[in-house]
Amino acid sequence: MNKTEYLKRLSDELGHMPYGDVKDIIQSIEEHFDEGLGEGRSEEEIAASLGDPKELANEFKDGAKFNQIMKKRKRMADSFKGPDGRGRIFVIVFNAFVGIECWLVLLAAVIAAFMFLAADLGIIGVLVASMIMGKITEFLVPCIFLVLTLVCVAVFLVALVILGVKYYAKGLKSYIRWNKHVWNYGLGED
């Protein structure tokens, strides 16, 4: 990505920040590009050293200053010298023996909660229909308590399933990002 494309994407990502702040950030990035070009680096190399515009914008939104971000990026670049083969082997082995199985177990737990919720709602429906039709007159009070208990369990399970799906998706996204990082940059120095 060249300088113009990078600055456009960064500006788009910074869209909701105050105009003066965006202007200062873009000016700092332009100066960084100019310094890099003066050192003989290409625009693509400079853009790659800055990282993804969306991630850079998020750091600025979190209140970080340009110098802080660049020091952090330099430390990260120094600690991750690039793929050396170990990172890729680690990702493959870790995912084969640990990672994938853990995520499948978590997915199974979310699916089990969803299935239990569906069964719970089905039982509630049957009990309510039976009470309406007058089939459970002898056991009306225990059935009412059972329905109320199952309704409470159903409400709890709805919350559990919603949170489970939400955090499963978030965690899986972070896990994939971590895998990509280790795959692309290696494990770092010993």
190 residues of the chain, pLDDT tens digit each: 888 888 888 888 887 788 888 888 888 888 888 888 888 888 888 888 788 888 888 877 776 666 666 666 665 555 444 455 677 787 888 888 888 888 888 888 888 888 888 888 888 888 778 878 877 667 777 777 877 888 888 888 888 888 888 888 888 888 888 888 887 777 664 4
List, as own/partner pairs, every contact residues 132-141 make where C-beta atoms lie below 8 angstroms and the sequence separation is at least 24, other chains included.
none
Cα dist. 18→15, 24, 58, 61 in Å? Answer: 8, 10, 14, 10
How far apart are the C-alpha atoms of 47 and 32, rounded to whole Å?
Answer: 10
Cα dihedral 21, 22, 28, 31 sign: negative
How far apart are the C-alpha atoms of 63 and 14, rounded to whole Å?
Answer: 12
Look up residue 14 and give its two tokens: 């910074």
Instruction: Give a three-class secondary structure readout of the chain.
Output: CCHHHHHHHHHHHCCCCCHHHHHHHHHHHHHHHHHHHHCCCCHHHHHHHHCCHHHHHHHHHCCCCHHHHHHHHHHHHHHCCCCCCHHHHHHHHHHHHHHHHHHHHHHHHHHHHHHHHHHHHHHHHHHHHHHHHCCCCCCHHHHHHHHHHHHHHHHHHHHHHHHHHHHHHHHHHHHHHHHHHHHHHCCCCC
Q: What is the pLDDT of residue 72?
A: 65
Q: How many other CB atoms are there within 10 angstroms of residue 162's CB atom?
A: 10
- The size of the chain, in residues, is 190
Q: What is the pLDDT of residue 80?
A: 46
Q: What is the pLDDT of residue 67?
A: 66
